Amino acid sequence: MTELLQKVRVIDPVSEIDELFDVLIADGYIQEVASHIADIHPNTQIRDCQGLVLGPGLVDLYSHSGEPGFEERETLLSFLHAATAGGFTRVSILPDTSPAIDNPALVSQLQQKRHGEMKEIRDKKKINLSFPVSPAPPASRLPLLNIWGAITLDVAGNQMTELADLASAGVVGFSDGKPFENLALVRRVLEYLQPLGKPVAFWPSDRQLTANGVMREGADALRFGLPPIPASAETTAIAAMLELVAAIGTPVHIMRVSTSRSVELIASAKAAGLPITASTTWMHLLLDTKAVKSYHTSLHLDPPLGNPRDVAALRAGVRAGVIDAIAIDHTPYSYEEKVQAFAEAPPGAIGLELALPLLWQYLVETEEFTALELWRALSTRPAKCLGQEVSAIVPHQPAELTLFDPQKIWNVERKSLYTLSQNTPWLGQQLKGHVVQTWC
């Protein structure tokens, strides 16, 4: 199939381009990019893309799949479909499934399942992947599935997995996706991982300081009567992690950064030459503690939403590159699990289909971020954190692309989402901005 996208706004962080072009795509490759393309095959599908944005496919650093073990929350297939509908061409799942992804057999099983679903889509046209709000041609592929291998057995934080075997099985890197309480074990992990050359991601959080808290410590926590979590629960753990990195030298990715002081610590460490990268989640860039006034359980996150100063520091950190990437940390839960008191509900929210529209609306349209800054933090930088590269939008490169309509109005409803769960504070609301199509 050959498609000509006419007058599309190309946002390419690799080439640092934000301009209008015609883009010709054929057989999964970019054939031509020019201000005007006139010489085309008679069977070429011509699409008027004025007002639309074309960028590299988005890359998610870490999220949760319900499968295996919690398929009522999310199956692997619904997870991949939600990612595609949200503009993601590469996704990375954390190993805290049931059973945990702590052995090569389960890594192979998940990859085989993804390949099996791909074959059915291609050979039998099992499912039409046109998007429910903004119909698109059926997708012929699913996103690349990256799998984080567990650092410890059953992600329990006690005994190391066979890291070399997991590396040979093809995991993208190592993470438990949970805080470590045993720093001696963290040090040993860093020593063992050094020769493997795979990324390792840690979530620094002192669970003793966190205790039973559910909200960032401050005036709003007092006002809402919710148990507080001090910022030091994160910053002390980050400081300890940075000391270990300085001592051992193994590169580390710091997950779920949520406080202004954390941004300062990471900036200082990078300036000193420590081999670290860092990410925050999309919701921590958009909302602060004041949003918790609604007691919506999908605003119960871990780490919790920050205060306004935290949000401002995180945004500035992403723009400056101190915070390398924006992660989605998609965390599906069933209706029954989330219909509880705020403090009792499990923390987490979905986000794969919502992140790009909301980030664009609240950061790009307000001109706080340029379109290139946002797209870079959602594509090339997270790929780099995974040890991967993203191709420029130039001829002869694979068409791993996302087409986005920043003006499309749609309602967040069960029928408009591919994810099986609806734990989001935006459920029932009208959003502006929707992915039209992905190529992957």
Burial of 99 (0-12, 13-18, 19+ CB in 10 A): middle
CA dihedral over 133, 136, 141, 143, signed as positive or negative: negative
Residue 96 catalytic? no
Alpha helices in 227-339 (DSSP H): 232-248, 260-271, 282-286, 308-320, 335-338
List, in sequence order, the alpha helices (H) in 63-131: 76-85, 104-124
- State residue 34 phi and psi, 5-degree precision: -155, 165
- CA atoms within 13 A of residue 416's CA, in its CB half-sphere: 17
Please give the helix or strand (H or E) that residue 219 lies within, else none.
helix 219-224
- Residues 12, 22, 310, 329: which is the catalytic one? 329
Give the list of residues 6+ apart from residue 143 with CB closer than 8 angstroms, or none: 57, 80, 83, 84, 88, 89, 90, 91, 438, 440
Report the C-alpha gap between 314 and 305 in whole angstroms: 11
> What one-character DSSP code corresponds to residue 361?
I
Q: What element of type H or E holds 216?
A: strand 215-216
Question: d(Cα 240, Cα 232) in Å, to the nearest integer?
Answer: 12
Phi (first) and psi of residue 266, to 5 degrees: -70, -40
Q: Which residues are catalytic?
A: 329
